[in-house]
Amino acid sequence: MKESWSAFDTFEPHFRPLVVIELAKNTKEETKEWLTQRIVDKKKNGGAQLLVKPLVKEDGGKIDGNQNLYLVGASHLRLLLGAETVGLVKECNDNSMRTFTYSSRNTFKDFAEDNHDFLTMAECQYIIKHELENLRAKDERMIPGYPQAKLYPGKSILRRLLTSGILLQIFPLHDTEELKKLRYTWYGQVKISYQPLDEIRCYFGETIALYFGFLEYFTFALVPMALIGIPYYVFAWEDYDKYVMFASFNLLWSTVILEVWKRCCAIMTYRWGTLLMKRQFEEPRPGFHGVLGINAVTGKEEPVYSSIKRQIRIYLVSLPFVCLCLYFSLYVMMIYFELETWALDFHEENESSYSNLMLFVPSIIYAIVIEMMNRVYRYAAEFLTSWENHRLESSHQNHLILKVLVFNFLNCFASLFYIAFVLFDMKLLRQSLATLLITSQILNQFVEALLPYWLQKRHNTKVKKRVYSVKVDTDLSLFEQVNLEKEMGTYLGTFDDYLELFLQFGYVSLFSCVYPLAAVFAVLNNITEMYSDALKMCRVFKRPFSQPTANIGVWQLAFETMSVISVVTNCALIGLSPQVNALFPDSKTDLILIVVLAEHILLALKFVMAFVIPDKPRDIQIKLARLEFESLEALKQQQMKLAAESLKEETHGEKKMN
């Protein structure tokens, strides 16, 4: 049973800063007072009931240049009540995982009234973010001091402050001591070992930990493909009929690794508690806007937006724009083939080491152009998806991922399909695949990790000089930390990281029988990716807010779809090989029928394997079933208790009347 918020005083004498809010320099005083009052106000009055204070000197004076930096924290009691609100799952004394409730707090493992480490810092920051995002306007019609910043009942206050330019950013603070320990165990020592996923989860949250877990798992899964691909590359380059076994292994491999990953993911997320988190009634995303109305399911007041208007935006604006971008991508691809023809003619006329190198130039240029087009299109896709105004964050992400995946798939793989099934040039296919794969990996490593790290290191040096030049009497470490972190780049989530792995999976699986070394380069890239991404998370970007998640979401479906497409492409490539064609000199119809039959058999085998391999291990299935049974029993007991109380009241009433 939930405790009433009004029954608690959540004042905390010892303030622990967890989150930083930065307002614009010229923010009006009445706006600051209104916002801070809403943050500290009680829940029953529409506040967040948190703690907030500006960055100040010990004598109480504000530090020059930092009047608009506010530190947000919460009392231990407030965080415990917030943990119940967001539905955090913790381990009980009987080693089972259950949703945390304040009333049954003493049944949870390691809980004590004075144990402030019961909730991890990432969980505390997630609770604060949830409460701040759910600060909604009540009777206000505008942001105080800014008549142009309109509000209406139910509108997200933080969202309006952001879009109006009043709120610059909100970010969680690093725990410097914990970060040092994590950096040392994660990438601070050169040794072959697994990543400290539990420590990463405790510090950065489940979403980041799951990405690194998948990256590590995928890298190990690529090792068999790499070991088998090397001898095929060395000893059987042009004998495509010998690649039948390799391609068949690839197809079964891609199915098995994705199914086994589901089991590994279930084991990890059960241990972390996110597998049990309930999200039946997801709240509207902060960016969702509309006229205030009543949710038909929950009965709560919230913005309402016509689904017909959303569909019109999707099908009459977003879809034509995506199709136009796809056409432009194909047009750029045809220019690439013209460059390939020119380079080939140049090589035939001037056979030399220089002309040999020129053969790779068109592919390198095309790979760079692809990366540039992907990044520009990404911004357009984000704008369109936001403009479509999806109510739920999950729906918003699914539409964004779909737009980006379709474009990236065509942009990265259309040229390879054209070479394979229109030009029938296996030598050019092999060369293009190798160049695209290696060039994209080098560019990604440079753009995503090395360049930001170098820029951030230079910027940090300047900021430190500026910080130490200010004579302050406050805790210099906290002052320096806040100023350093507010200038860091913002981590935009795991989207780009998963997209990179998705494209890599496509390069490895789609044309495996043409370029077996793809898996070797993928393994080498992923090993460096683990360290560069770890460095990026710990040194380059602000600490991201923790986000509980039970799986890798729609990316699982994306990888599975890619594995199905790989069945078709590999079967078609084997059917096009000269050796297989020589077996059917008179009738190509028989060849096509046999290739289609083989493709259907392999697809059927994939789906059978996916069905046979359970998504969750047996012991976790039993634990989940037991929890569901106990929940039903508890509900029955509660209903029986209520019925007994009701019957007792009726009997008592009848006695009074008599």
Tens digit of pLDDT for each residue in 620-632?
A: 888 878 877 776 7
* Mean pLDDT along residues 102-116: 86
Looking at the DSSP assignment, which residues form a beta bridge with residue 90?
98
Does the pLDDT of residue 65 top 70, yes or no?
no
Look at residue 182 in the predicted model and tell me its pLDDT.
92
Look at residue 197 in the predicted model and tell me its pLDDT.
93
Look at residue 643 in the predicted model and tell me its pLDDT.
67
| Token pair belonging to 621 | 């299935």
User: Residues 276, 89: contact at Cβ < 8 Å?
Assistant: yes
pLDDT tens for 541-598 read: 899 999 888 888 889 889 998 988 888 888 887 777 777 777 777 777 888 888 888 8
Interatomic CA distance for residues 322 and 81, integer angstroms: 45
Contacts of 620 (CB under 8 A, 6+ apart): 266, 267, 270, 275
Question: Band of the pLDDT at 531, cuts 50, 70, 90?
Answer: confident
Query: What are the Cα distances from residue 505, in Å, to 30, 221, 253, 413, 512?
Result: 54, 11, 12, 12, 10
Question: Band of the pLDDT at 389, cuts 50, 70, 90?
Answer: confident
Look at residue 68 in the predicted model and tell me its pLDDT.
86
> Comparing 44 with 171, which gets the higher pLDDT?
171
Look at residue 470 in the predicted model and tell me its pLDDT.
44
How would you class 537 by CB atoms within 10 Å of its CB: exposed for 0-12, middle for 13-18, buried for 19 or more?
buried
Does the pLDDT of residue 19 top 90, yes or no?
yes
Contacts of 157 (CB under 8 A, 6+ apart): 35, 38, 135, 136, 137, 151
* Mean pLDDT along residues 249-274: 87
Question: Band of the pLDDT at 488, cuts 50, 70, 90?
Answer: confident
What is residue 301's three-state secondary structure? strand
Look at residue 125 in the predicted model and tell me its pLDDT.
94
What is residue 145's three-state secondary structure? coil
Q: Considering the chain, what percentage of its residues have pLDDT values greater than 90?
A: 16
Does the pLDDT of residue 605 top 90, yes or no?
no
Question: Band of the pLDDT at 482, cuts 50, 70, 90?
Answer: confident
* Mean pLDDT along residues 378-387: 88
Q: What is the mean pLDDT of the chain?
A: 81
* Mean pLDDT along residues 131-151: 85
Largest separation between any pair of C-alpha atoms in the chain: 115
Does the pLDDT of residue 150 top 60, yes or no?
yes
Question: Band of the pLDDT at 201, cuts 50, 70, 90?
Answer: very high
Residue 518 burial (CB count, 10 A): 27
- Range ranked top by mean pLDDT from 79-88, 203-212, 253-262: 203-212
Look at residue 253 in the predicted model and tell me its pLDDT.
84
Interatomic CA distance for residues 248 and 10, integer angstroms: 62
What is residue 146's three-state secondary structure? strand
Look at residue 13 in the predicted model and tell me its pLDDT.
59
> Comparing 599 with 171, which gets the higher pLDDT?
171
Look at residue 18 in the predicted model and tell me its pLDDT.
92
* Mean pLDDT along residues 266-270: 90
Look at residue 434 in the predicted model and tell me its pLDDT.
83
Question: Band of the pLDDT at 59, cuts 50, 70, 90?
Answer: very low
Look at residue 280 in the predicted model and tell me its pLDDT.
47
Q: Smallest Cα–Cα separation from 511: which of 391, 425, 408, 635?
A: 425
What is residue 455's three-state secondary structure? helix
* Mean pLDDT along residues 282-292: 69
Does the pLDDT of residue 644 top 80, yes or no?
no
Q: Considering the chain, what percentage of its residues have pLDDT values greater than 70?
A: 83
Contacts of 414 (CB under 8 A, 6+ apart): 329, 330, 333
Look at residue 336 in the predicted model and tell me its pLDDT.
86
* Mean pLDDT along residues 70-79: 91
* Mean pLDDT along residues 24-31: 89
Look at residue 215 in the predicted model and tell me its pLDDT.
94
Look at residue 2 in the predicted model and tell me its pLDDT.
44
Does the pLDDT of residue 116 top 70, yes or no?
yes
User: Residues 349, 390: contact at Cβ < 8 Å?
Assistant: no
* Mean pLDDT along residues 287-307: 69
> Comparing 285 with 590, which gets the higher pLDDT?
590
- Write down the pTM of the prediction: 0.83
Look at residue 580 in the predicted model and tell me its pLDDT.
75
Comparing 337-351, 383-397, 412-426, 458-472, the range with the smallest average pLDDT is 458-472
Question: Band of the pLDDT at 196, cuts 50, 70, 90?
Answer: very high
Residue 384 has φ and ψ, to the nearest 5°, of -65, -45
Does the pLDDT of residue 299 top 70, yes or no?
no
Does the pLDDT of residue 126 top 90, yes or no?
yes
* Mean pLDDT along residues 433-454: 74
* Mean pLDDT along residues 39-64: 75
| Token pair belonging to 614 | 């359970």
Does the pLDDT of residue 333 top 70, yes or no?
yes
Which helix or strand (DSSP H or E) is residue 200 part of? helix 197-204
Question: Band of the pLDDT at 475, cuts 50, 70, 90?
Answer: very low
